[in-house]
Amino acid sequence: FSETEKIPVMRGQWFIDGTWQPLEEEESNLIEQEHLNRFKGQQLQESFDMEVSKPVDGKEAIHSLKLSRNHVDWHSVDEVYLYSDATTSKIARTVTQKLGFSKASSSGTRLHRGYVEEATLEDKPPQTSHIVFVVHGIGQKMDQGRIIKNTAMMRDTARKIEEKYFSNLATHVEFLPVEWRSKLTLDGDTVDSITPDKVRGLRDMLNSSAMDIMYYTSPLYRDELVKGLQQELNRLYTLFCSRNPEFEEKGGKVSIVSHSLGCVITYDIMTGWNPVRLYEQLLQKEEEELEDRWMSYEEQRLLEELYVTKQRLKEIEERLHGLKASTISKPPVLKFKVENFFCMGSPLAVFLALRGIRPGNSGSQDHILPRTICNRLLNIFHPTDPVAYRLEPLILKHYSNISPVQIHWYNTANPLPYEHMKPSFLNPTKETTSVTDGESVSTVPSPTTSPVMVRRHYGESITNIGKASILGAASIGKGLGGMLFSRFGRSSTTTPQTLEPGKDGAEGDDKKATTVGTPPLPHSSSGFLEPIVELEHRIDFELREGLVESRYWSAVTSHTAYWSSLDIALFLLTFMYKHDQEDTDKSNLDAI
């Protein structure tokens, strides 16, 4: 915020009877000072129940105070009236007094020292048990203070959800904006000086928004962006703890909600990722490849000499770093453990893919973000957000054909808990045909050879698109398991895993469908297909599209539409209040 945009916080001391609106601070301070000088030490009435129209007829003012446009009369210590000194008010006051009305009842406004309700110990806000740092993405330079407004919108929607669904909890979640961009100098005005004047408005908008992505991919300015966000996060956390000393003592938790590019920078801060180390790994890989191929004696001798020189250079660098701490190799550190990391409209998956992250064989979040750093990673996106990408297929490849979890509408009655929602496939309809004896194995779809199918609406389960036909085809038994799994499982070069005992289709050779290089995919009693390897926790969560929503229009607006969503507010609070809700339910059961 600039100085002109700062919102002042004023103390209310004197209030107008009836409306209970506070007087302007300047007049209120003058009345308070005069009141203390004249009546300090005098006893007020015992009862706090103030009468709205207590008559003062026949009582003379015992004290008066002249203000710029008004004057105040005290008829007693707690009978104070404000009068306007405008000409029309004076005339009206004179006429009404000649008609027999008192000055106070005709044109006076009664004032009260203090608010209509007496404060109690229960009036204090609930204890903050969880703080959420809200991190912005690109475009903050173009619209300074936007993250503060966006966080205010998210806070307001969260308050509505708290009152509706979590009012029984004695704890509170506080959202704090993190504005890290405006304090950075970066290139100064160099980019502005080389920007042509034609369509200047559009160019300035791009310089203030998309340029942040180029800054972050620049080895010269990347560290400045990372350090700027890291220092601001630590500063805000230290400031909050200094003002709330019981937060750490009582085990307060911290989550981060990041938007757009802010997700990537936050991720790099938490993991300490640095492109310098990636470059060193690539050099090491090249050296290993060189060692494996045949080379001449002279080439081998030069490589050995180069290796010794690099080792010597590395030793010198380590000794130098020991004398002077290096800011480049030292990974950024946060002063708190991150409980939940919520990504909104995030391109993080693209950055990770370009850094060489590939799917593995384990369904653990540790493949991309260790649980020791962050307890839970959750990726929220709108289906038409052009900036957002999925994270789950970077952990297990076949999840590219499993739909993201649909986020519940905030007014859904008795929604199914997210951990109980089973995976549903995006496009299983075209993959249920059997293979005849005459067809070659090469015609069977595989994760690497099958064409990209037209994806159906997310959340459309296999039950909804023809459970009967698929289960009927399953009775044929020949080749179906392999064909189904070939789209959702790993390639034939991987070692088949043993199915868990007790699952349908997993016991006995006679129950196993003939496969083409891949194990069968078991059916569940509900009609959903259950992959052999599943994620420990779902990561991708998708907002539901509106029934009359234009996809082309929402592609333009969806990237900035997360802040005021009641669905997202309920989703965030569901995970942050999860342990508190479980503890409350357990205590209620114990009481019963």
Three-state SS at 489: coil
Give the C-alpha separation, 316 to 169, whole Å: 58
Instruction: Identify the bridge partners of residue 402 per DSSP, sorted by sequence position.
Output: 425
Q: Which residues contact 492 (CB under 8 A, 6 or more apart)?
A: 446, 516, 517, 518
Residue whose C-alpha is closest to residue 484's, from 415, 545, 402: 402
What is the sign, positive or negative, of the torsion defined by CA atoms of 495, 496, 501, 503? Answer: positive
Enter the tokens of residue 80.
């104070």
b/e 108-135 (16+ beta carbons within 10 angstroms → b) = bbbbbbeeeeeeeeeeeeeebbbbbbbb
Using DSSP, state whether 577 is helix, strand or coil: coil
Judge contact between 344 and 259, C-beta under 8 A: yes
Residue 489 near residue 531, CB atoms below 8 Å? yes
Q: How far apart are CA 549 and CA 551, in angstroms?
A: 6
Residue 565: CA count within 13 A, CB half-sphere = 25
Q: Are the C-beta atoms of 504 and 535 separated by less than 8 Å? A: no
Q: Considering the candidates 208, 260, 558, 565, report the single residue annotated as catalytic.
A: 260
Length of the chain equals: 592
Cβ atoms 432, 469 nearer than 8 A: yes
Q: What are phi and psi of 220, to 5 degrees?
A: -80, -35
Whole-Å CA distances, 527 to 425, 472, 474: 11, 12, 12
Give 3-state DSSP helix, strand, coil % of the chain, rounded to 5.
40, 10, 45
Triad 376, 380, 383: Cα angle to 5°: 150
The total of other beta-carbon atoms located within 10 Å of residue 392's CB is 24
Q: Look at residue 192 and give its three-state secondary structure.
A: helix
Helix or strand (DSSP H, E) at 241: helix 222-243
Q: CA 404 to CA 416: how far, in whole Å?
A: 15
Element (H, E) at 213: helix 211-217
Structure tokens at 41: 């030490």
Which are the contacts of 46, defined by CB distance < 8 A and separation ≥ 6?
none
Q: Confirm whether 446 is a catalytic residue.
A: no
User: Considering just the CA atoms, what is the radius of gyration of the chain in Å?
Assistant: 34
Structure tokens of 443?
């015609």
Q: How far apart are CA 312 and CA 318, in angstroms?
A: 10
Measure the CA–CA gap between 265 and 232, rounded to whole angstroms: 13
Distance CA 176, CA 148 (A): 8
The catalytic site residues sit at 260
